[in-house]
Amino acid sequence: MKTTKNVLSLVLILVLSILPIFAAGTQEAGKTGVTLKLEQFSGSDATLSGKALRGMIAEFEKQNPTIKVALQTIGYDDYFTQLQSKVVGGNAADVFELNYENFVAYASEGALANITSLLGDTSGFNDTAFKAFNYQGVQYGVPNSFSNVVLFYNKALFDQAGIAYPTETWTWKDIEVASKKIMNLGKNIWGFYRPFSFHEFYKGAAQNGGSLMSADRKTFTVNTAENIEAASMMVGWQKDSKIMPTDADMAGMGDWDLFKSGRLGMIVTGIWAFADFSANCPFEWDITIEPGNVKKATHFFSNSYVVSATSKYPAESAKLAAFLAGSKEATKLRVEASWELPPVTYPEIIESYLSITPPQNREAVFASLDYLVTPPVSIQQAEMTAIIQSYLDQILSGKQSAKVALDACQKELEAKISL
Amino acid sequence: MSIQGRRGLRVALPFLLPSLLGAALFAILPIIISLLLSITSWTGMSKVKITDGFLRFVAEHSVGWDNFAAILSDQEFWRALSHNLYFIVLYLPLMLLFSLTCALIINAPKRGTGIYRVVYYLPVLTSWVAGSLIWKWLLSPVYGPINNFLSFFGIEGPLWLQSEVWAMPSIVIASIWKDMGFYAMVILGGLKSINIEYYEAARIDGASPLQMFQRITLPLLSSVLFYVTMLSMINAFQLFPQVMVMTKEGNAGPNGATMVMVERIYKYAFRYGKMGYAAAYSWILFVIIMAFTYIQKRGEKRWVNYDV
């Protein structure tokens, strides 16, 4: 009898000690206002963007005294792993950031709130960027920034080699010719850099008249003749014409560092390099629209703020998302911090963006928008990207020809990725 | 059950309850759940509640044995498995050799063995992430101390972690550095339990140190060595953090050279949104480890000597 009592009291103690765990979730928010959780990756304290973001939040709180914002920043590498477990656990922040590539996966799983009617006036947004976050006719997010990729060039090296600067009319052929002349300047000086990655390849394919998916996004078209030719030519920059350094040549040095060291003539990279290059290049540089082979094609990257489907305050959350993404106050801070490109059409914001130099030719950023290609997108985005990248690596390492690899890639994608 | 047994259980139960509860909640329940999830197409993103209609969820999202069939018919799985086996083939013998040597050095009655013990054991206490980062730096092709040291002798060191050929051996080197101390301590325990009188008798009979090692130390250490082999093999199949930190994470090493099973499980579960598929993958790994352990256990009688 005594032991039974002991057992009972022990169980009681255990139950009592566990209870507070469940209690934490039931606390009511204060009646005076709400606190919204905001999680994001693109603004970091290592650059000016983190400060700009805190400035935007302060401005929002000033205009909406009843709403407080709790900001949480997570590095890009861990962001999506953490986000997924939070969404599954029902603990997603009220407002969180998604990039264009991952947007469809979250929208299709019902993790996002429909904010179509909660956004107010959206006429100030850039149309392409705004529509990118519409899934099956429903607006699930607002673009907070977009960015693209341009051709950066080292003016000093072009001057030394005595050749004219790249222009909008350049093609891959011109890149090769100029690179060879630049490389004649000395050992360890390289002409061109453009990594053979998933992102560069789908754009390269488009620049050669191809594409990785059919226009209706129902089938893969990875192994077309145009794509195979594009892959061979892109790998050729390292293997045949040797205008681009290999990993071994780079010996652990990053591509941006190579450009900043003044030993690289041209690099294809994102406009998010502006701040770094402005501060750290001891020579003059400028940009132009990226050359294509048979036609031009440029990247479109965009991040958005979305509202969690489990948020208790969808209206307030949508208000916050719209403010941070598209208000004049917020976009002004964004431009001042050189934090990518605000997705808005306000003339004064665009004007102030263009007035910052270097680069002199900032118009090229906007001119590039005329040639946008969007990436192939699937619900299994990360897996699809990894599969394509693994075959690009096979081509780059010389283990398989472009044709063999892309044929195999097409087959694997058809077997594993549902479109 | 005898009266005493039942009485004993009643007394023991309150004391066991906290651990049992923990085991049930954090080990047994997740194991059962993962088995059920392994036959579903759960993405890991839609919400599932164990307390509310979990079995209905499993039934609605069931894909039967499709996950298992898809994994086993995918070349990628066999590639990952072969990388695991390659790791084990390199790692196991070297690890045994180094930890045995370590244990013998520590066991020798000399001054300063205490310091050795600490030095060899330190890597065990280091976290894998910190250790991996240090090795990444050591093995860096241009700025790394190892290649600098090699170039001192006119040898051009390999690209290590960036080379398809050297990536896995690099992981092996780091793993041995990390695990050696732990297994050396286990072996040391075995060495200490050998009766000194055997050695004294052997010495009187004129046996050389090598003979003593071969005829006394090794046979009497066989049970400990068996335990170490089994444990390190099970751990080797679960190779993960060093791969994630040291080799290019996005592509599982240069050209997929360090794509291993747990790395795949992680990718499928947390990157590719295929939680059910990943659960099936874990169960396949479990069966493989079981099979290998069983084979080893079968061989135990043949070469293990328990007459200490």
Run of H or E including A51: helix A48-63
Q: How far apart are CA A322 and CA A123, in angstroms?
A: 12
Asked if pLDDT for residue A370 goes beyond 90, the answer is no
Average pLDDT score over residue span A276-305: 93
For residue A111, list chain B residues with Cβ-Cβ distance below 8 A: 45
Residue-range domain boundaries for chain B? 1-37, 68-303
For residue A87, list chain B residues with Cβ-Cβ distance below 8 A: 45
Q: How far apart are CA A245 and CA A262, in angstroms?
A: 14
Q: Are A148 and A300 in contact (CB under 8 A)?
A: yes
Residues 6+ apart with CB under 8 A from A110: A309, B46
Residue B19 at interface with chain A, using a CB cutoff of 8 Å: no
For residue B21, the model assigns a pLDDT of 94
For residue B147, list chain A residues with Cβ-Cβ distance below 8 A: none
What's the gap in Å between the CA of A130 and the closest CA on chain B?
25
* Identity of the residue in A81, A110, A394 whose CB atom sits nearest the CB atom of B46: A110
Residue A382 at interface with chain B, using a CB cutoff of 8 Å: yes
For residue B126, the model assigns a pLDDT of 93
Q: How far apart are CA A385 and CA A199, in angstroms?
A: 9
Asked if pLDDT for residue A29 goes beyond 50, the answer is no
pTM: 0.81
Q: Are B172 and B98 in contact (CB under 8 A)?
A: no
How far is the CA of A173 from the CAs of A128, A153, A360, B159, in angstroms? 31, 16, 25, 32
* Identity of the residue in A7, A84, A251 whose CB atom sits nearest the CB atom of B142: A251
Q: Are A239 and A398 in contact (CB under 8 A)?
A: yes
Longest dimension (CA), chain B: 78
Q: Are A206 and A297 in contact (CB under 8 A)?
A: yes
What's the gap in Å between the CA of B189 and the closest CA on chain A?
39
By 3-state DSSP, what share of chain B in percent is helix, strand and coil, each rounded to 5? 75, 0, 25
For residue A82, give the chain B residue with the closest CA: B270
With CB atoms and an 8 Å threshold, state whether A7 touches B14.
Answer: yes
Instruction: Kindly list the structural domains of chain A, giving each domain's residue range(s) and its CATH number in brackets, ordered by start.
Output: 34-145+302-345 (3.40.190.10), 149-300+373-416 (3.40.190.10)
For residue A14, the model assigns a pLDDT of 58
With CB atoms and an 8 Å threshold, state whether B45 touches A380.
Answer: no
With CB atoms and an 8 Å threshold, state whether B271 touches A80.
Answer: yes
What's the gap in Å between the CA of A367 and the closest CA on chain B?
32
With CB atoms and an 8 Å threshold, state whether B10 touches A3.
Answer: yes
Tokens for A328, please give them.
């004049």
For residue A372, the model assigns a pLDDT of 86
With CB atoms and an 8 Å threshold, state whether B48 touches A88.
Answer: yes
Q: How far apart are CA A101 and CA A377, in angstroms?
A: 6
Q: How far apart are CA B222 and CA B307, in angstroms?
A: 10
Pairing of strands A301-307, A141-147: antiparallel
Give contacts of A 180-219 with B, CB under 8 A.
Answer: none
Residues shown for chain B? 308
CATH label, B68-303, candidates 3.40.50.620, 3.30.420.60, 1.10.3720.10, 3.40.640.10: 1.10.3720.10
With CB atoms and an 8 Å threshold, state whether A87 touches B45.
Answer: yes
pLDDT tens for A305-338 read 999 999 999 999 999 999 999 999 999 999 888 8
pLDDT tens for A210-252 read 999 998 889 999 999 999 999 999 999 999 999 999 887 887 7
Enter the ipTM: 0.76
Treating both helix axes as pointing N-terminal to C-terminal, what angle do B218-237 and B275-303 enclose, rounded to 10 degrees? Answer: 170
- Which amino acid appears at position A122 of this protein? T
Asked if pLDDT for residue A21 goes beyond 60, the answer is no
Average pLDDT score over residue span A33-49: 88
* Identity of the residue in B17, B43, B255 whose CB atom sits nearest the CB atom of A397: B255
For residue A24, the model assigns a pLDDT of 42
With CB atoms and an 8 Å threshold, state whether A389 touches B164.
Answer: no
Testing the interface with B: which of A91, A102, A249, A393 to mutate, by most B Cβ within 10 A? A393
With CB atoms and an 8 Å threshold, state whether A390 touches B256.
Answer: yes
With CB atoms and an 8 Å threshold, state whether A88 touches B45.
Answer: yes
For residue B245, give the chain A residue with the closest CA: A77
Residues shown for chain A? 419
pLDDT tens for A138-171 read 999 999 998 889 999 999 999 999 999 999 999 9
With CB atoms and an 8 Å threshold, state whether A84 touches B273.
Answer: yes
Asked which of A3-7, A96-100, A199-203, A289-293 is least confident by mean pLDDT, the reply is: A3-7
For residue A27, the model assigns a pLDDT of 41
B237 phi and psi angles, rounded to 5 deg: -65, -25
pLDDT tens for B40-71 read 999 887 777 777 888 888 998 999 999 999 99
pLDDT tens for A248-288 read 788 778 899 999 999 999 999 998 888 889 889 999 999 99
Average pLDDT score over residue span A340-356: 86
Residue whose tokens read 């990360």: A382
Treating both helix axes as pointing N-terminal to C-terminal, what angle do A328-336 and A48-63 enclose, rounded to 10 degrees? Answer: 160
For residue A237, the model assigns a pLDDT of 96
pLDDT tens for A162-208 read 999 999 999 999 999 999 999 999 988 999 999 999 999 999 999 99
Establish, for the pair of chains A and B, how many residue pairs have beta carbons separated by less than 8 Å.
Answer: 78
A152 phi and psi angles, rounded to 5 deg: -95, 140
Residue B231 at interface with chain A, using a CB cutoff of 8 Å: no
Q: How far apart are CA A99 and CA A105, in angstroms?
A: 11
Residue B245 at interface with chain A, using a CB cutoff of 8 Å: no
CB half-sphere exposure, A263, CA atoms < 13 A:
14
Residue whose tokens read 């082979």: A293
Cβ-based neighbour number of residue B38 at 10 Å: 24
- pLDDT above 70 covers a percentage of chain A that reads 92
Residue B47 at interface with chain A, using a CB cutoff of 8 Å: yes
Select from B30, B91, B79 the least CA-distant residue to B231: B91
For residue A418, list chain B residues with Cβ-Cβ distance below 8 A: none
Select from A97, A77, A74, A88 the least CA-distant residue to A144: A97
Average pLDDT score over residue span A371-382: 86
Q: How far apart are CA A360 and CA A337, in angstroms?
A: 18
Q: How far apart are CA A175 and CA A285, in angstroms?
A: 16
Average pLDDT score over residue span A284-309: 94
For residue B250, give the chain A residue with the closest CA: A386
Q: Are A286 and A361 in contact (CB under 8 A)?
A: yes
Select from B82, B80, B41, B86 the least CA-distant residue to B64: B41
For residue B3, the model assigns a pLDDT of 57
Q: Residues B270, B271, B274, CA angle at the centre, nearest 5°?
A: 70
For A352-377, letters b (16+ CB in 10 Å) and e give ebeeeebbebbebbebbbebbbbbbb
Residues 6+ apart with CB under 8 A from B101: none
Residue A106 at interface with chain B, using a CB cutoff of 8 Å: yes
Pairing of strands A190-193, A285-288: unpaired
**Stretches in chain B below the pLDDT threshold 70:** 1-4, 248-251, 307-308
pLDDT tens for A71-123 read 999 988 789 888 988 887 788 999 999 998 889 889 988 899 999 999 988 88
Pairing of strands A301-307, A34-40: unpaired
What is the pLDDT confidence band of residue A126, given thresholds at 50, 70 and 90? confident
